[in-house]
Protein backbone atom coordinates (compact mmCIF):
# COMPACT_ATOMS: atom_id res chain seq x y z
CA UNK A 1 0.00 0.00 0.00
CA UNK A 2 1.36 3.42 -0.86
CA UNK A 3 1.61 5.89 2.01
CA UNK A 4 0.27 8.72 -0.06
CA UNK A 5 -2.66 8.86 -2.42
CA UNK A 6 -1.08 11.74 -4.34
CA UNK A 7 2.54 12.82 -4.63
CA UNK A 8 3.70 15.74 -6.74
CA UNK A 9 7.45 16.08 -7.24
CA UNK A 10 8.74 19.21 -8.91
CA UNK A 11 5.59 19.24 -11.01
CA UNK A 12 5.95 21.90 -13.70
CA UNK A 13 3.99 23.14 -16.71
CA UNK A 14 4.70 25.85 -19.25
CA UNK A 15 2.39 27.23 -21.90
CA UNK A 16 5.08 28.55 -24.26
CA UNK A 17 7.06 30.99 -22.15
CA UNK A 18 4.46 31.18 -19.40
CA UNK A 19 5.44 29.14 -16.35
CA UNK A 20 1.93 28.18 -15.17
CA UNK A 21 2.96 25.59 -12.56
CA UNK A 22 6.41 26.11 -11.11
CA UNK A 23 8.15 23.05 -9.61
CA UNK A 24 5.57 22.25 -6.96
CA UNK A 25 5.94 19.51 -4.36
CA UNK A 26 3.30 18.06 -2.07
CA UNK A 27 1.74 14.83 -0.78
CA UNK A 28 -1.86 14.02 0.02
CA UNK A 29 -2.57 11.18 2.45
CA UNK A 30 -5.24 8.57 1.73
CA UNK A 31 -8.63 9.74 2.97
CA UNK A 32 -7.43 13.33 3.33
CA UNK A 33 -9.31 16.35 1.95
CA UNK A 34 -6.81 18.78 0.48
CA UNK A 35 -7.99 22.24 -0.50
CA UNK A 36 -6.07 23.80 -3.38
CA UNK A 37 -6.75 27.50 -3.14
CA UNK A 38 -5.68 30.37 -5.30
CA UNK A 39 -6.87 33.29 -7.44
CA UNK A 40 -7.75 33.03 -11.14
CA UNK A 41 -4.75 32.00 -13.18
CA UNK A 42 -2.76 30.70 -10.19
CA UNK A 43 -2.26 27.31 -11.84
CA UNK A 44 -4.92 25.16 -10.12
CA UNK A 45 -6.56 23.69 -13.22
CA UNK A 46 -3.22 23.05 -14.89
CA UNK A 47 -2.08 21.16 -11.79
CA UNK A 48 -5.27 19.07 -11.73
CA UNK A 49 -4.85 18.25 -15.42
CA UNK A 50 -1.33 16.96 -14.76
CA UNK A 51 -2.43 14.98 -11.71
CA UNK A 52 -5.27 13.35 -13.66
CA UNK A 53 -3.22 12.47 -16.72
CA UNK A 54 -4.88 14.98 -19.06
CA UNK A 55 -1.65 16.91 -19.56
CA UNK A 56 1.90 15.68 -19.42
CA UNK A 57 4.16 17.63 -17.05
CA UNK A 58 7.00 19.51 -18.73
CA UNK A 59 9.15 18.61 -15.73
CA UNK A 60 8.69 16.58 -12.58
CA UNK A 61 6.32 13.79 -11.80
CA UNK A 62 2.90 13.00 -10.36
CA UNK A 63 2.28 9.69 -8.59
CA UNK A 64 -1.24 8.54 -7.68
CA UNK A 65 -1.77 5.46 -5.50
CA UNK A 66 1.82 4.49 -6.18
CA UNK A 67 1.46 4.73 -9.98
CA UNK A 68 3.25 7.19 -12.25
CA UNK A 69 0.48 9.21 -13.91
CA UNK A 70 2.41 9.67 -17.16
CA UNK A 71 3.34 6.04 -17.74
CA UNK A 72 0.29 4.37 -16.16
CA UNK A 73 -2.36 6.85 -17.20
CA UNK A 74 -5.19 4.38 -17.88
CA UNK A 75 -4.70 2.46 -14.66
CA UNK A 76 -4.63 5.74 -12.73
CA UNK A 77 -7.75 7.03 -14.48
CA UNK A 78 -9.69 3.88 -13.57
CA UNK A 79 -9.14 4.73 -9.89
CA UNK A 80 -10.03 8.40 -9.93
CA UNK A 81 -13.15 10.52 -10.34
CA UNK A 82 -12.94 13.96 -11.89
CA UNK A 83 -15.51 16.73 -11.76
CA UNK A 84 -14.79 19.94 -13.61
CA UNK A 85 -16.63 23.22 -13.43
CA UNK A 86 -17.96 23.25 -16.98
CA UNK A 87 -20.89 20.89 -17.31
CA UNK A 88 -20.30 18.40 -20.12
CA UNK A 89 -23.37 16.22 -19.75
CA UNK A 90 -25.61 14.77 -22.44
CA UNK A 91 -28.46 17.25 -22.21
CA UNK A 92 -30.90 15.22 -24.32
CA UNK A 93 -30.52 12.21 -22.05
CA UNK A 94 -31.93 11.72 -18.57
CA UNK A 95 -29.85 11.84 -15.41
CA UNK A 96 -30.02 8.05 -15.11
CA UNK A 97 -28.99 7.56 -18.73
CA UNK A 98 -26.04 9.89 -18.27
CA UNK A 99 -24.77 7.85 -15.33
CA UNK A 100 -25.35 4.53 -17.08
CA UNK A 101 -23.53 5.69 -20.18
CA UNK A 102 -20.58 6.78 -18.09
CA UNK A 103 -20.59 3.42 -16.28
CA UNK A 104 -20.42 1.67 -19.67
CA UNK A 105 -17.50 3.84 -20.76
CA UNK A 106 -15.67 2.81 -17.60
CA UNK A 107 -16.85 -0.82 -17.91
CA UNK A 108 -18.25 -0.53 -14.41
CA UNK A 109 -20.52 -3.38 -13.42
CA UNK A 110 -22.40 -3.74 -10.12
CA UNK A 111 -23.45 -0.16 -10.26
CA UNK A 112 -26.66 1.27 -8.85
CA UNK A 113 -27.41 4.49 -10.74
CA UNK A 114 -30.55 5.15 -8.74
CA UNK A 115 -28.77 4.92 -5.38
CA UNK A 116 -26.12 7.30 -6.65
CA UNK A 117 -28.73 9.80 -7.80
CA UNK A 118 -30.39 9.54 -4.38
CA UNK A 119 -27.09 10.37 -2.74
CA UNK A 120 -26.91 13.68 -4.60
CA UNK A 121 -30.58 14.42 -3.99
CA UNK A 122 -31.67 13.79 -7.60
CA UNK A 123 -33.53 10.52 -7.04
CA UNK A 124 -36.85 12.07 -7.99
CA UNK A 125 -35.53 13.63 -11.19
CA UNK A 126 -33.54 10.69 -12.58
CA UNK A 127 -35.96 10.12 -15.45
CA UNK A 128 -36.05 13.76 -16.54
CA UNK A 129 -33.88 15.05 -19.34
CA UNK A 130 -30.82 16.95 -18.16
CA UNK A 131 -31.71 19.96 -20.35
CA UNK A 132 -34.47 20.73 -17.83
CA UNK A 133 -32.13 20.62 -14.81
CA UNK A 134 -31.06 23.77 -12.93
CA UNK A 135 -27.36 24.65 -12.70
CA UNK A 136 -27.19 23.15 -9.20
CA UNK A 137 -28.83 19.92 -10.34
CA UNK A 138 -26.42 19.60 -13.24
CA UNK A 139 -23.51 20.13 -10.89
CA UNK A 140 -24.85 17.46 -8.53
CA UNK A 141 -25.17 15.09 -11.49
CA UNK A 142 -21.57 15.86 -12.45
CA UNK A 143 -20.43 14.96 -8.93
CA UNK A 144 -22.51 11.75 -9.07
CA UNK A 145 -20.92 10.93 -12.42
CA UNK A 146 -17.45 11.34 -10.91
CA UNK A 147 -18.41 8.68 -8.35
CA UNK A 148 -19.64 6.07 -10.87
CA UNK A 149 -16.40 4.07 -10.82
CA UNK A 150 -16.14 4.26 -7.00
CA UNK A 151 -12.91 6.23 -7.23
CA UNK A 152 -10.22 6.14 -4.58
CA UNK A 153 -9.32 9.73 -5.37
CA UNK A 154 -11.83 12.42 -6.27
CA UNK A 155 -10.80 15.64 -8.01
CA UNK A 156 -13.34 18.41 -7.68
CA UNK A 157 -12.85 21.75 -9.38
CA UNK A 158 -14.98 24.50 -7.79
CA UNK A 159 -17.80 22.02 -7.10
CA UNK A 160 -20.11 24.49 -5.36
CA UNK A 161 -19.34 27.72 -7.21
CA UNK A 162 -22.45 29.73 -8.01
CA UNK A 163 -24.81 27.10 -6.60
CA UNK A 164 -27.91 27.61 -4.47
CA UNK A 165 -27.31 26.89 -0.76
CA UNK A 166 -29.17 23.55 -0.83
CA UNK A 167 -27.17 22.16 -3.76
CA UNK A 168 -23.92 23.48 -2.27
CA UNK A 169 -24.64 21.86 1.09
CA UNK A 170 -25.54 18.52 -0.48
CA UNK A 171 -22.23 18.52 -2.37
CA UNK A 172 -20.31 19.42 0.79
CA UNK A 173 -21.97 16.57 2.71
CA UNK A 174 -21.14 14.17 -0.06
CA UNK A 175 -17.49 15.25 0.02
CA UNK A 176 -17.35 14.61 3.77
CA UNK A 177 -19.07 11.21 3.35
CA UNK A 178 -16.62 10.13 0.69
CA UNK A 179 -13.65 11.17 2.80
CA UNK A 180 -15.07 9.14 5.72
CA UNK A 181 -15.12 6.11 3.41
CA UNK A 182 -11.40 6.62 2.84
CA UNK A 183 -11.62 8.43 -0.50
CA UNK A 184 -8.96 11.10 -0.97
CA UNK A 185 -10.34 14.45 -2.09
CA UNK A 186 -8.46 17.08 -4.05
CA UNK A 187 -10.63 20.17 -4.00
CA UNK A 188 -9.83 23.34 -5.89
CA UNK A 189 -11.80 26.36 -4.79
CA UNK A 190 -11.90 30.12 -4.38
CA UNK A 191 -14.18 29.74 -1.40
CA UNK A 192 -12.11 30.12 1.75
CA UNK A 193 -15.00 29.50 4.13
CA UNK A 194 -15.80 26.25 2.38
CA UNK A 195 -12.15 25.22 2.49
CA UNK A 196 -12.00 26.03 6.17
CA UNK A 197 -15.06 23.86 6.87
CA UNK A 198 -14.14 20.88 4.73
CA UNK A 199 -10.41 20.55 4.34
CA UNK A 200 -7.93 18.71 6.51
CA UNK A 201 -5.17 20.80 4.95
CA UNK A 202 -5.09 23.66 2.49
CA UNK A 203 -2.45 24.66 -0.05
CA UNK A 204 -2.30 28.29 -1.12
CA UNK A 205 -1.22 28.47 -4.73
CA UNK A 206 -0.06 31.75 -6.16
CA UNK A 207 1.62 32.40 -9.51
CA UNK A 208 2.27 28.70 -10.05
CA UNK A 209 3.94 28.09 -6.69
CA UNK A 210 2.67 26.69 -3.41
CA UNK A 211 3.04 29.54 -0.96
CA UNK A 212 2.06 27.47 2.08
CA UNK A 213 0.46 24.11 2.88
CA UNK A 214 -0.91 23.34 6.33
CA UNK A 215 -4.06 22.70 8.34
CA UNK A 216 -6.47 25.65 8.62
CA UNK A 217 -5.94 25.49 12.39
CA UNK A 218 -2.14 25.76 12.15
CA UNK A 219 -2.36 28.59 9.63
CA UNK A 220 -4.62 30.56 11.94
CA UNK A 221 -2.31 29.91 14.87
CA UNK A 222 0.75 30.95 12.91
CA UNK A 223 -0.53 33.85 10.84
CA UNK A 224 -3.89 34.79 12.24
CA UNK A 225 -4.38 37.65 14.67
CA UNK A 226 -7.24 37.01 17.00
CA UNK A 227 -9.07 40.09 18.19
CA UNK A 228 -12.00 41.32 20.21
CA UNK A 229 -14.40 43.69 18.54
CA UNK A 230 -16.68 45.84 20.68
CA UNK A 231 -19.30 48.49 20.13
CA UNK A 232 -19.37 51.21 22.77
CA UNK A 233 -21.50 54.29 23.32
CA UNK A 234 -19.49 57.38 22.39
CA UNK A 235 -19.71 60.90 23.92
CA UNK A 236 -22.54 61.96 21.64
CA UNK A 237 -24.50 58.76 22.32
CA UNK A 238 -23.64 57.23 18.95
CA UNK A 239 -22.15 53.73 18.66
CA UNK A 240 -18.40 53.55 18.09
CA UNK A 241 -16.24 50.55 17.28
CA UNK A 242 -13.27 49.40 19.32
CA UNK A 243 -10.82 46.64 18.48
CA UNK A 244 -8.36 44.92 20.79
CA UNK A 245 -5.76 42.38 19.68
CA UNK A 246 -5.71 39.18 21.68
CA UNK A 247 -2.50 37.32 22.54
CA UNK A 248 -0.40 40.46 23.19
CA UNK A 249 1.18 41.71 26.45
CA UNK A 250 -1.29 44.58 26.50
CA UNK A 251 -4.45 42.49 25.95
CA UNK A 252 -5.43 42.20 29.63
CA UNK A 253 -5.00 45.91 30.41
CA UNK A 254 -6.68 46.97 27.18
CA UNK A 255 -9.70 44.81 27.98
CA UNK A 256 -9.82 46.13 31.55
CA UNK A 257 -9.69 49.72 30.27
CA UNK A 258 -12.44 49.02 27.78
CA UNK A 259 -14.81 47.83 30.46
CA UNK A 260 -13.91 50.44 33.08
CA UNK A 261 -13.80 53.50 30.84
CA UNK A 262 -16.46 52.76 28.22
CA UNK A 263 -20.04 51.68 28.02
CA UNK A 264 -19.79 48.39 26.13
CA UNK A 265 -22.91 47.51 24.13
CA UNK A 266 -21.74 44.45 22.17
CA UNK A 267 -18.55 42.43 22.23
CA UNK A 268 -17.32 39.41 20.33
CA UNK A 269 -14.03 37.73 19.48
CA UNK A 270 -12.93 37.12 15.91
CA UNK A 271 -10.21 34.93 14.47
CA UNK A 272 -8.49 35.64 11.19
CA UNK A 273 -10.12 34.00 8.18
CA UNK A 274 -8.16 31.96 5.66
CA UNK A 275 -8.81 34.83 3.25
CA UNK A 276 -6.99 37.28 5.60
CA UNK A 277 -4.12 34.82 5.88
CA UNK A 278 -3.96 34.29 2.12
CA UNK A 279 -3.62 38.06 1.64
CA UNK A 280 -0.99 38.23 4.36
CA UNK A 281 1.10 35.46 2.78
CA UNK A 282 0.75 36.28 -0.91
CA UNK A 283 0.13 40.02 -0.75
CA UNK A 284 -3.10 39.74 -2.71
CA UNK A 285 -6.65 38.49 -2.40
CA UNK A 286 -8.43 35.68 -4.17
CA UNK A 287 -10.71 37.84 -6.30
P1 LIG B 1 -8.96 29.67 -12.60
O2 LIG B 1 -9.28 29.79 -11.16
O3 LIG B 1 -9.30 30.90 -13.38
O4 LIG B 1 -9.49 28.42 -13.25
P5 LIG B 1 -6.37 28.46 -12.39
O6 LIG B 1 -5.73 28.68 -11.07
O7 LIG B 1 -7.03 27.16 -12.63
O8 LIG B 1 -7.37 29.64 -12.71
P9 LIG B 1 -4.89 27.83 -14.77
O10 LIG B 1 -6.11 27.68 -15.63
O11 LIG B 1 -4.15 26.60 -14.39
O12 LIG B 1 -5.21 28.66 -13.47
O13 LIG B 1 -3.91 28.82 -15.53
C14 LIG B 1 -2.59 29.11 -15.09
C15 LIG B 1 -1.96 30.09 -16.07
O16 LIG B 1 -1.82 29.46 -17.33
C17 LIG B 1 -2.78 31.34 -16.32
O18 LIG B 1 -1.90 32.42 -16.48
C19 LIG B 1 -3.50 31.03 -17.62
O20 LIG B 1 -3.78 32.23 -18.34
C21 LIG B 1 -2.48 30.18 -18.35
N22 LIG B 1 -3.12 29.21 -19.25
C23 LIG B 1 -4.04 28.28 -18.90
N24 LIG B 1 -4.38 27.54 -19.99
C25 LIG B 1 -3.67 28.02 -21.01
C26 LIG B 1 -3.57 27.65 -22.40
N27 LIG B 1 -4.27 26.65 -22.92
N28 LIG B 1 -2.71 28.36 -23.18
C29 LIG B 1 -1.98 29.36 -22.66
N30 LIG B 1 -2.02 29.75 -21.37
C31 LIG B 1 -2.84 29.08 -20.55
Under the banding of pLDDT at 50, 70 and 90, the label for residue 1 is very low
- Please state, in angstroms and rounded to a whole number, the distance separating the CA atoms of residues 150 and 108: 9
Among candidate residues 140, 148, 147, 154, the one with its CA nearest the CA of residue 103: 148
- Give the binding-site residues of ligand 1, using a 6 Å CB cut-off: 15, 18, 20, 38, 40-46
In the predicted structure, residue 113 carries a pLDDT above the cut 80 = yes
Backbone angles phi, psi at 190, to 5 degrees: -100, -10
CA 188–ligand 1 middle distance (angstroms): 13
CA 44–ligand 1 middle distance (angstroms): 8
What residues contact 115, with CB distance under 8 A and at least 6 apart? none
Q: pLDDT digit string (tens) for 63-91? A: 999 999 999 999 999 999 998 756 688 99
Mean pLDDT of 169-188: 93
Residue nearest to atom 30 of ligand 1 (CA): 15
Give residue 158's pLDDT. Answer: 87
Q: pLDDT digit string (tens) for 150-159? A: 999 999 988 8
CA 119–ligand 1 middle distance (angstroms): 32
Amino acid sequence: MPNHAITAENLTYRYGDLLAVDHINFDVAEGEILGFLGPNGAGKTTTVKMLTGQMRPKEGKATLLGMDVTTQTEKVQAQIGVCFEIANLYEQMTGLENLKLFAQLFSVKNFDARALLDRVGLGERGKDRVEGYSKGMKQRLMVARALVNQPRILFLDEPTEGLDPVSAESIRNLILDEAKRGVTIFLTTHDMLEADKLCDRVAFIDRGKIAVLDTPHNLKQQYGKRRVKAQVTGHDGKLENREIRLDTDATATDLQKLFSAEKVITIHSEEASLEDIFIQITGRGLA
